[in-house]
Amino acid sequence: MRVLVITGAGVSAESGIPTFRGEDGYWRNFSAAKLATPEAFERDPKLVWEWYSERRQRISNARPNAGHEAIAKLARQADEFLLVTQNVDDLHARARLANEAMVQIHGNIFVTRCSCCDFSYEGRGGSPEPPVRLSKGGRLRSIAPTSAQNEDIPRCPECAALMRPGVVWFGERLPWSELQRVENYLDRGTCDLVIVAGTTATFGYIIDWALRASRCGGELIEVNPEETPISQFATQLVREPAAIALPRMVDAIVSFSHR
Ligand code: OAD
């Protein structure tokens, strides 16, 4: 069985991570969908970092739910498997889904990267603490911020630009290497089973990947309490929370394939 699973914020909702849209998509009265933009960072980097720091903290304290566990179980069962997640949290990984089986197409919240050059680092801290680095000459290089307004925001030790979260913001290009991994998987063949769970599927590429993967008669199952642009193409609609529906679906698939 060849499987593609696509997930969005709804899959982590039951772990207590707020989604982007809908009722819980607000933080201090700011819309999450508007904070996750290059424009918001340009206007107020401190505010955007505060939001991401809180999100990092919340994710660190959260646990994978039964939906994450079910997807990892399906991966172990399938002959070929890829998860494409729009989630920047690490809950799929903490449910023991291997890195090779997963593409985080919108990046990783625990990565901090330079807003100008390629410098980046990964760390689980709640705030964007920069690592202490030696400059090329072997001397400690200051990464102290220069403006009082942005004094809590680290600057790049290579080029002194502001550091930012290692996530893809609305309107930004997808990371090339991760995009290639998805394209390679789709080019190698269509899927018997495609599950799209917990996403509003706002982006055309999400719909495109789901349709391409299922185009030769594969099942396209949507797991979402609400209707989305994917719904009209689905061969099966499961209008339930992911943490309830996915374990049941995966158990049924596993017991069927053991017959
Ligand atoms: P959204 O917040 O747009 O949508 C969450 C979806 O999950 C909605 O369709 C809900 O109906 C559904 N949902 C809520 N609770 C659920 C549950 N318990 N089980 C299953 N489904 C549930 O999140 P995404 O679609 O992931 O991108 O958003 C996509 C992207 O938009 C994000 O990755 C982010 C944002 O802009 C960028 O920042 C580039």
For residue range 69-84, what is the model confidence (pLDDT) as tens digits?
999 999 999 999 999 9
SS3 48: helix
**Angle at CA of residue 28, ends 23 and 30, nearest 5°:** 70
Mean pLDDT, all residues of the chain: 89
Question: Is any ligand 1 atom within 6 A of the Cβ of residue 84?
Answer: no
Burial of 169-198, coded b for 16+ CB within 10 Å and e otherwise, reads bbeeebbeebeebbeebbeeeebbbbbbbb
**Whole-model pTM above 0.75?**
yes
Of 34-38, 146-150, 190-194, 197-201, where does mean pLDDT reach its minimum?
146-150
Q: Which residues contact 184 (CB under 8 A, 6 or more apart)?
A: none
Q: Which DSSP symbol is given to 94?
A: H
Name the residue with higher pLDDT: 53 or 256: 53
| pLDDT tens sequence across 197-232 | 999 999 999 999 999 999 999 999 999 999 999 999
Rounded mean pLDDT of 100-121? Answer: 96
Question: Is any ligand 1 atom within 6 A of the Cβ of residue 36?
Answer: yes
Question: Quick one: pLDDT at residue 135?
Answer: 41
- What's the CA-to-centroid distance between 8 and ligand 1, angstroms? 5
Segment holding 76, helix H or strand E:
helix 66-77
- Position 94 pLDDT exceeds 70: yes
Question: Quick one: pLDDT at residue 154?
Answer: 85
- Position 142 pLDDT exceeds 80: no
Question: Is any ligand 1 atom within 6 A of the Cβ of residue 7?
Answer: no
- Position 132 pLDDT exceeds 60: no
